[in-house]
Structure 1
Amino acid sequence: MFRKVFEYAGPYKKKTIASGIVILTAVIFSILPFVFVYQVITPLVMGETISREMIAGRVIGVGICLLCHACLYIKGLSMSHDAAYHILMRLRISLQQKMEKLPLGVIQEKGTGSLKRMFVDDIDSMEMLLAHALPEGAGNVAAPVIIYISLFFIDWKLALMTLASLPVGLTAMMVMYAIGMKDMDSYYQAGKIMNNTIIEYINGMEVVKVFHKDAESYRRFEKDIKTYRDFTLDWYKACWPWMALYNSILPCTLLVTLPLGSWFVLKGYSTLPDLILVMCLSLSMGIPLLKALGFLPSLPQINYKIETLEKMMDADPLCQTQNAFCGKDHTVEFRDVVFAYDKETAADHVSLTIKEGEKTALAGESGSGKSTLAKLLVHYYDPQSGSITVGGQDIRDMSLEALNSLISYVAQEQYLFPGSLKDNIRLGKLSATDEEIMEAAEKAQCMEFIEKLPDGINTMAGDAGKQLSGGQRQRIALARAILKDAPIIVLDEAMAFTDPDNEEKMEAAMEEVSRGKTLLVIAHRLPSVQDADKICVMEHGRLTAAGTHEQLLKDCLEYQKLWKASVASMNWKVESGKGE
């Protein structure tokens, strides 16, 4: 039951066990007063004389035992909390290390809601299990077991009577566990879906409001919350009757002992002092049993929760080595690359060479596989077959750090940290001086809007860069790329948020960032890449044509269609502007 806990406990395994022993000792001290009560009652019942000193001594003994119980219980819980928080820390670090080895694309697919729930909510929920259920549950179960064994040395017949409630109580408990474990996976899955839906609902509220999709979005929000509610209520409704049964039956140790034991005494099968002692010890088990029963339903969840967290990270790690880059140049080559998201093929036997110092563009309709090739190059995923090389070296035969040092990747959506714009640009080169950062911002055409900000380049970007527009965030990302000065540049629809007024500035910024570099551009607007050395046309994950703009306009029907749509879109924007 505790195997998974001890896998992550490390040096805190001994402290966890020690906390359980200390709490067990505390529970034993809470039982001793019942023995003192027996020592006072028995002489009175048997008609024997008893001194005041003896009574006073037992009363003092009860007080000392209760004091020791309180002190030891507090000490045990202090030790268990210290061990629990260190175990949770080690669990978080272990999961984080596993996550770092996963392809970045796999991590993005899991969603921020699932990852937040895993690293924060799910792990925090284990604190009660590790700090309370484990040591207290073990201590409060062990004490009654010790008492039961002791009862057999007193009178085995009376001891068997005290065990009469166990079969019924344990049967009810086992049924409850079986029901709970059967539905536990569905319960946690419903919670995961609800968590993702809530985060998506909040993040997408602006779009929902603009396009009047409140009702549709709320229906999904309400549906997933109700599903989680229904799973929770159904789970508890199935478990409650059995929980009530074993909570009522198990602590009733006198249910058979009192009537049948009294009859045994009358018949001479047992002695009255033995019956009194057995009854006192049976009563002493009530509190520990009730506490144990309160924790026992939680104990099976420890392994389940840890295994669930591990399954979240259960994916093939990214193929990489610790090797540095040793390629002969910065030519990129895709060799018969195949990749699919689940069963949907996104790259179907793609072979492509991006020569060093040249500008290569990928064109195609949405979903044709353009961005997938870019993500494969920056090693978001491993290709399922084929290979991608830089200078003849497979990207899987180098460390991710070595590959990242070669490539600047500017995607459509750029994340900015809440710090200053200066610090966000400095991510491209942590050792950069303020002068180098300002120069990169200048080349990326950022100064136009930075100079209008109250604190200039020291202005805070806000949460995820929300203080800036999409186009401004992209220019900050370009400034990072310029500062990084990597030999290979990947621009994945980097002008997606650019308005016509700033399009020329963005094109100038991209020309600056790519001068003399190996450049791969995902074409959002075909006119912006018509000067490319090579344009590759993608259809349904396949590379169907490649050549210059003039060659493709002449020979490729798909490119002709894309070009007409792009030109029509530009004309529409111009006409819309005149109409206003």
Structure 2
Amino acid sequence: MIGAFKKIWDFAGSEQKNIKRSIVLALLHSIFYALQFAAVYVVLKALTSGDTSKRTALYAFGIMILSIGGRIVLNTFSQLQRVHAGYFMVANKRISIGNKLRSVPMGYFNKNNLGQMTAITTTTLTDVENTAPVVLVTVLGGFINSVVFALSVLLFDWRIGIIVFIGMAAFIWTTSLQEKHSRKSAPERQRAQETLVEKVLEAVQGISVIKCFHLGEKAGSAVNSAIEDSCNKNLAIEKQMTPYQIFQQIVLNLFAVIIMIVTAALYVNGTMGLADAMMMFVAAFMVFEQMKSAGISIATLRIAESSIDKANETDNVPVMDEGGRDIVPKTHDIAFENVSFSYGERKILDGVSFNVKQKTTTAIVGPSGSGKTTMCSLIARFWDVNGGKVTIGGEDVRDFTLDSLMKNISMVFQNVYLFSDTVENNIKFGRPNATREQVVEAAKKACCHDFIMQLPNGYETVLEEGGASLSGGERQRLSIARAILKNSPIIILDEATANVDPENEDRLQAAIEALMKDKTIIMIAHRLKTVRKADQILVLDGGHIVQKGTHAELAAQDGIYSRFITQRQQAESWHIAGQKT
């Protein structure tokens, strides 16, 4: 139990001060709680001595009012401190995880289910928020209250006081048994909760595929199975804890009975006065009351500890070296020097070397899986190379801070992600301080101003997550507007016109050419008219650059590029023959 308390304490971080305050308030609360013990004793003493004066009654009443009022005030402020600590310690952890994910290599997201990270940042940390500070303060407060009460009893009669402390020791022993048996169930319950989030997220994200292939029953059964498993694991913990909670209640009630029996015996043999004996009978019902509440809270202690362990696993996620410098490169030349890279055991690039002069365009072509996207991702340092180095302006990209590196690069992906925010804020993503006029200008260049103005609230329209309410071409054009507005010296294009409808392609091509003016361009392209204007074409195959040159040079050679030209010309000249009706 001490280890669990320490884990919660360490997790609290800067919120430890609020937990300290809550514990101190809990201590003061226990003192005011004990005052009712004194109020009852005043009444009993007066009754046994025949004192029925108003003064005594008012004195006892005043003590009781002080006890109740003090407890209300202290409990209110103690609870506020607990809630503040719970909310902000979890908020700080979520921010910490978010900041860390910015410097995590993209390979991490390939190896780990998105649902697992979602579960940690939602249900897992919500469990911590709702249980950790409450359990810590409630349990410690309950024990403090019981100790204060036990000391009060000890002042009246040391013999009864010893029995109270023995009862508390017996309760702690039953609690240790409960903790040992909950060590296995709590992590299993945690895994079931994560699986549930993963399955629900998977079903929601893949709903179009599920409907298309009539997999609703299969997907539904997977979610139902996860729900049932989560339910069973939660019930298992309750079933496992219930016998121990009953045992705890039996132990405390047994010692309460022992206190009454011993008190009666002491009164009968004349070693305890009537008022003291009556007080001990009352104490038998009061002294363990807060400890009972603490015992119920202890049942959730292991859940809080397990949730914290899971959340802290994110601390061990490998990050890219953050010891970089804020570098402003003298030029925007890009160089690969004997670069090798693998996804696990699968080698993607093997000893790749080439140079890109600033303000020139380099097109990368090659069969699927040849490493084109990986090459671009290494420039932006989505991953770190396994061997060799990538440089910008002669500076190794690993020597930049990630922020200073990305100031130099704008990327337009084939698969565009838009955030659940306004159209304007999505375009301003790479340049938050841009004015509305600058946003509109960028949107016009990217041929998306007209369709934006047709949206319900124009640039203030809030998009659905991922931009689901827009077509693929519309999302693509917003992504290009974002890159135009950012105006970085290096542009990486991953087939930027792939999802654009034919009537807008020419206009968008002109916009891209305007974006590319006086920039260092790396483009992954599959269309012949996009490639032929490049200053340099790199042909990738099997992780190697097998051809390099201009369009005219490579077209004259027998190889992958000449076959690429032939295939594209055939594809572009393909048409449906007319049919007689």
Do both share a fold (TM > 0.5)? Answer: yes
| Contact 2:363/2:522 (8 A) holds in 1 | yes
Instruction: Note the alpha carbon deviations across 1:220-260, whole angstroms, 9 max, x for none.
Output: 33333333233323333333322332244335432333335
Q: Which residue number in structure 1 is paired with residue 31 of structure 2?
A: 28
Match of 2:233 among 226, 231, 234: 231
Per the normalisation by structure 2, the TM-score is: 0.84
Structure 1 51/222 Cα, relative in aligned 2: closer, same or farther at 3 Å? closer
Q: Which residue number in structure 1 is paired with residue 394 of structure 2?
A: 392
The one-letter amino acid of 1:29's match is: F
Structure 1 239/432 Cα, relative in aligned 2: closer, same or farther at 3 Å? closer
Q: Which residue number in structure 2 is paired with residue 292 of structure 1?
A: 294
Structure 1 549/197 Cα, relative in aligned 2: closer, same or farther at 3 Å? farther
| Contact 2:127/2:307 (8 A) holds in 1 | no
Q: Do residues 369 (structure 1) and 379 (structure 2) align?
A: no
Distance 1:105 1:147 in 2: 58
Instruction: Note the alpha carbon deviations across 1:278-299, whole angstroms, 9 max, x for none.
Output: 4433321232122212222334
Distance 2:68 2:499 in 1: 71
Secondary structure of 1:253's match? helix
The one-letter amino acid of 1:370's match is: K
With 139-148 and 217-226 compared, the bigger mean Cα shift is at 217-226
Match of 2:220 among 213, 218, 221: 218
| Contact 1:77/1:131 (8 A) holds in 2 | no
Distance 1:544 1:181 in 2: 58
The one-letter amino acid of 1:520's match is: I
Structure 1 63/510 Cα, relative in aligned 2: closer, same or farther at 3 Å? closer
What pairs with 1:9-48 in structure 2 (closer than 5 Å)?
13-41=16-44, 48=49
Instruction: Note the alpha carbon deviations across 1:380-435, whole angstroms, 9 max, x for none.
Output: 22224332101211112123232222211111222334555444434454555555
Q: Which residue number in structure 2 is paired with residue 174 of structure 1?
A: 176
| Contact 1:158/1:275 (8 A) holds in 2 | no
Distance 1:153 1:410 in 2: 77
Distance 1:249 1:555 in 2: 90
| Contact 2:163/2:259 (8 A) holds in 1 | yes
Q: Do residues 196 (structure 1) and 198 (structure 2) align?
A: yes
With 301-310 and 268-277 compared, the bigger mean Cα shift is at 268-277
Give 1:301 deviation, angstroms: 4.7
Match of 1:476 among 462, 478, 481: 478
Give 1:57 deviation, angstroms: 3.6
Q: Which residue number in structure 1 is paired with residue 331 of structure 2?
A: 329
Secondary structure of 2:300's match? helix
Q: Percent identity?
A: 27
With 404-413 and 75-84 compared, the bigger mean Cα shift is at 75-84
Distance 1:437 1:258 in 2: 80
Structure 1 440/61 Cα, relative in aligned 2: closer, same or farther at 3 Å? closer
Secondary structure of 2:355's match? strand
The one-letter amino acid of 1:379's match is: R
Match of 1:241 among 236, 240, 243: 243
Q: Which residue number in structure 2 is paired with residue 78 of structure 1?
A: 80
Secondary structure of 2:488's match? coil
Distance 1:5 1:93 in 2: 18
The one-letter amino acid of 1:18's match is: R
Structure 1 63/213 Cα, relative in aligned 2: closer, same or farther at 3 Å? same
Q: Which residue number in structure 1 is paired with residue 139 of structure 2?
A: 137
Q: Which residue number in structure 2 is paired with residue 402 of structure 1?
A: 404
| Contact 2:8/2:136 (8 A) holds in 1 | no
What pairs with 1:131-530 in structure 2 (closer than 5 Å)?
132-152=134-154, 154-163=156-165, 165-166=167-168, 169-263=171-265, 266=268, 275-321=277-323, 323-430=325-432, 432=434, 436-447=438-449, 449-450=451-452, 461-500=463-502, 502-525=504-527, 528-530=530-532
With 536-545 and 172-181 compared, the bigger mean Cα shift is at 536-545
| Contact 1:2/1:302 (8 A) holds in 2 | no
Give 1:6 deviation, angstroms: 4.8
Distance 1:149 1:132 in 2: 25
Structure 1 21/519 Cα, relative in aligned 2: closer, same or farther at 3 Å? same
Structure 1 184/280 Cα, relative in aligned 2: closer, same or farther at 3 Å? same
Equivalent residue pairs, number: 577
Distance 1:514 1:31 in 2: 78
The one-letter amino acid of 2:523's match is: V
Instruction: Note the alpha carbon deviations across 1:487-524, whole angstroms, 9 max, x for none.
Output: 21111232332345544444443333223432212234
Distance 1:541 1:380 in 2: 18
The one-letter amino acid of 2:183's match is: M
| Contact 1:320/1:395 (8 A) holds in 2 | no
| Contact 1:95/1:310 (8 A) holds in 2 | no
| Contact 2:420/2:464 (8 A) holds in 1 | yes
Instruction: Note the alpha carbon deviations across 1:256-282, whole angstroms, 9 max, x for none.
Output: 333355446556787766554444333
Secondary structure of 1:305's match? helix
Give 1:158 deviation, angstroms: 3.5
Give 1:142 deviation, angstroms: 0.6
The one-letter amino acid of 1:487's match is: P
Distance 1:241 1:526 in 2: 74
| Contact 1:362/1:521 (8 A) holds in 2 | yes
Distance 1:578 1:518 in 2: 48
Give 1:441 deviation, angstroms: 3.2
With 454-463 and 350-359 compared, the bigger mean Cα shift is at 454-463
Instruction: Note the alpha carbon deviations across 1:533-556, whole angstroms, 9 max, x for none.
Output: 444344454545545556667767
Distance 1:219 1:570 in 2: 45
Structure 1 288/434 Cα, relative in aligned 2: closer, same or farther at 3 Å? closer
Secondary structure of 2:523's match? strand
| Contact 2:328/2:404 (8 A) holds in 1 | no
Instruction: Note the alpha carbon deviations across 1:185-210, whole angstroms, 9 max, x for none.
Output: 33223322322332232233233223
Distance 2:523 2:312 in 1: 37
With 554-563 and 170-179 compared, the bigger mean Cα shift is at 554-563
With 150-159 and 242-251 compared, the bigger mean Cα shift is at 150-159
